[in-house]
C-alpha cells in the first residue's frame, strides 16, 4: 500500500496541512520544531492507533483544539484507491473510517497499511528488553498469519485466567494448562515459522549493510527451557508459579537474541553498528511481508543520517531504494539523502520551514 496524500488537522503544531507524497521517497525537512517527526507520528497513528513517542495520545491534539484528524488516500499495487481516517477528540473518543464507513477499530487500517518505523532510538529499544523484541516478532506474525492476532488474544486471556487461579488457589489449573498449552504451542509454531522466513532476508540485508562486520545469528528462545516441552515446563514449575502468583514460563516470556560468536550484539557492537542492524532487521521485515504476503510496507525514518557514516548511510539508502517501497524520511539537511537518489522523479521534498514557530 502507498500513501498518495495525507491531511493532518489539529495534529501537534499543524492546524491543517496537506502533503502530496512521493511513491518512493518523501523527504521531510525543516528546522528543529517544524513538525518533521510529527508527520511521521501522524502516519504511525493512522496505522497503529497510538503515538510513536508518547503514551498520552492527548498530547498529539493541537493545543486549544477540539479534534485531531489524520486522513489519507491510499493506493494498492493494482492502483485501487481507498480513503482512511482516524479522528480523536478532546475527551479521547476515537473514530476510524474507511471510504466513509465507520470501522470497529483501527486494526482495519493496521492490516492494510503496514508501517515500519526507524528512529534514532530503534536499536536502543530493541536492546532494552525482550518485550520489545517479542513485539518485533509479533509484528511479523500478525501480518504473516491471518489468525495470529486471535491466537495471541486467546493465549493472553488464558494466561490471565491461569494467573488468577494461581493467586487465588482455585482448583482450575489443569483446565487452564490444557488451553495455555494449546494456544501457546500455536503461537510458538507461528513465531518459529516467521523467524525462519525472516532469517533468510535478515542474513541477506546484514551481509550487504554490515559488510566487513561479523555475522549476526538470530537465536529464538520460546520462553521455556529448550530441553522441556511446554507441558513439562508448566507442570514442573507449578509450585514455584503458585508461590510467585504468576506463570513464569511460556510464549509470553519468549525472546529473540542477536548473537555474534555466541555473545549478544548489544555487548560487542558500537551504537552505529547496532543502528545498522536495526536497519537490516527492518528491511528484512518489509521484504518477508512483500515476498510471502505480497504486502508493501511504508517506512518511516526519523533522522536518517544520525550515527551512520557516509558509507553505511549510502548502503542503507541504496537498500531502501532497491526495495521499491514507500519511504518517509526526515532530516534537517536533505543533501546527504538526495545525493543518493539519482533520479529526481523518485523523491519529493516537503519543506516545513514555514511551520517553524519558535
Ligand atoms: N499538542 C501540541 N500542540 C501544538 N504544538 C505542539 C504540540 N505538541 C508539540 N507541539 C510543537 O510541535 C512542534 C513539532 O515538533 P516535532 O515534530 O518534534 O519537530 P521536528 O521533528 O521538526 O523537530 C514543536 O515545535 C512542538 O513544540
Ligand atoms: Mg524530530
List, in order of start, the domains of the chain with CATH numbers.
Answer: 1-114+296-358 (3.40.50.300), 128-270 (1.20.1050.90)
What is the predicted pLDDT for the residue at 358?
43
Does the beta carbon of 51 sit less than 6 angstroms from any atom of ligand 1?
A: no
Extract the C-alpha cell encoding 200: 533468510
Measured CA to CA, the distance from residue 314 to residue 339 in angstroms comes to: 9
What is the predicted pLDDT for the residue at 356?
53
Residue-averaged pLDDT of the chain:
93
What is the Å distance from ligand 1's center to 60 Cα?
A: 9
Contact (CB, 8 A) for 100 and 107: no
What is the Å distance from ligand 2's center to 76 Cα?
A: 29
**Which ligand is nearest to the Cα of residue 60, counting in written order?**
1
Does the beta carbon of 33 sit less than 6 angstroms from any atom of ligand 1?
A: yes
What is the Å distance from ligand 1's center to 11 Cα?
A: 9
**Region 169-193: what's the mean pLDDT?**
96
Residue nearest to atom 24 of ligand 1 (CA): 33
**Region 123-133: what's the mean pLDDT?**
88
What is the predicted pLDDT for the residue at 337?
86
What is the Å distance from ligand 2's center to 12 Cα?
A: 12
Among all chains, which residue has been given the C-alpha cell 504473516? Answer: 144
What is the predicted pLDDT for the residue at 232?
97
**Region 331-339: what's the mean pLDDT?**
88
| For residue 65, pLDDT beyond 90 | yes
Measured CA to CA, the distance from residue 259 to residue 214 in angstroms comes to: 10
**Region 286-311: what's the mean pLDDT?**
91
Q: Which atom of ligand 1 is nearest to the CA of 358?
A: 25
What is the predicted pLDDT for the residue at 170?
86
Does the beta carbon of 32 sit less than 6 angstroms from any atom of ligand 1?
A: yes
Measured CA to CA, the distance from residue 318 to residue 250 in angstroms comes to: 40
Q: How far apart are the first and last CA of the chain?
A: 35
Amino acid at each position: 500500500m502507498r500513501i498518495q496524500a495525507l491531511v493532518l488537522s489539529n495534529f501537534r503544531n499543524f492546524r491543517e496541512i496537506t502533503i502530496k507524497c512521493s511513491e518512493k521517497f518523501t523527504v521531510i525537512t525543516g528546522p528543529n520544531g517544524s513538525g518533521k517527526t510529527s508527520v511521521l507520528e501522524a502516519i504511525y497513528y493512522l496505522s497503529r492507533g497510538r503515538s510513536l513517542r508518547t503514551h498520552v495520545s492527548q498530547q498529539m491534539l493541537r493545543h486549544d483544539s477540539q479534534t485531531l484528524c489524520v486522513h489519507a488516500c491510499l493506493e494498492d499495487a493494482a492502483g485501487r484507491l481507498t480513503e482512511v481516517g482516524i479522528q480523536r477528540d478532546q475527551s479521547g473518543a476515537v473514530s476510524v473510517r474507511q471510504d466513509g464507513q465507520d470501522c470497529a477499530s483501527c486494526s482495519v487500517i493496521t492490516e492494510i497499511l503496514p508501517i515500519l518505523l526507524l528512529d534514532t532510538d530503534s536499536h536502543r529499544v530493541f536492546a532494552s528488553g525482550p518485550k520489545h523484541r517479542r513485539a518485533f516478532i509479533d509484528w511479523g506474525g500478525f501480518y504473516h498469519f491471518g489468525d495470529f492476532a486471535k491466537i495471541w488474544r486467546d493465549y493472553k486471556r488464558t494466561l490471565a485466567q491461569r494467573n488468577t487461579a494461581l493467586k487465588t488457589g482455585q482448583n482450575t489449573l489443569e483446565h487452564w494448562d490444557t488451553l495455555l498449552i494449546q494456544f501457546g504451542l500455536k503461537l510458538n509454531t507461528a513465531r518459529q515459522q516467521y523467524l525462519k522466513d525472516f532469517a533468510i532476508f535478515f542474513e541477506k540485508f546484514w551481509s550487504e549493510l554490515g559488510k566487513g562486520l561479523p555475522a549476526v545469528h538470530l537465536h529464538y528462545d520460546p520462553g521455556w527451557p529448550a530441553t522441556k516441552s511446554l507441558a513439562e515446563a508448566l507442570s514442573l514449575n507449578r509450585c514455584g508459579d503458585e508461590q510467585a502468583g504468576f506463570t513464569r514460563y511460556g510464549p509470553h516470556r519468549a525472546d529473540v537474541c542477536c548473537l555474534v560468536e555466541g555473545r549478544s550484539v548489544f555487548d560487542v557492537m558500537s551504537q552505529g553498528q547496532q543502528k545498522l542492524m536495526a536497519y537490516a532487521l527492518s528491511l528484512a521485515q518489509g521484504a518477508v511481508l512483500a515476498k510471502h504476503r505480497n504486502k508493501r510496507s511504508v517506512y518511516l525514518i526519523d533522522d536518517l543520517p544520525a550515527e551512520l557514516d557516509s558509507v553505511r548511510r549510502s548502503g542503507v539508502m541504496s537498500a531502501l531504494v532497491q526495495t521499491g517501497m514507500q519511504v518517509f524520511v526526515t532530516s534537517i539537511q536533505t543533501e546527504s539523502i538526495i545525493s543518493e537518489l539519482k533520479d529526481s522523479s523518485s523523491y519529493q521534498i516537503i519543506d516545513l520551514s514555514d511551520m517553524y514557530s519558535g
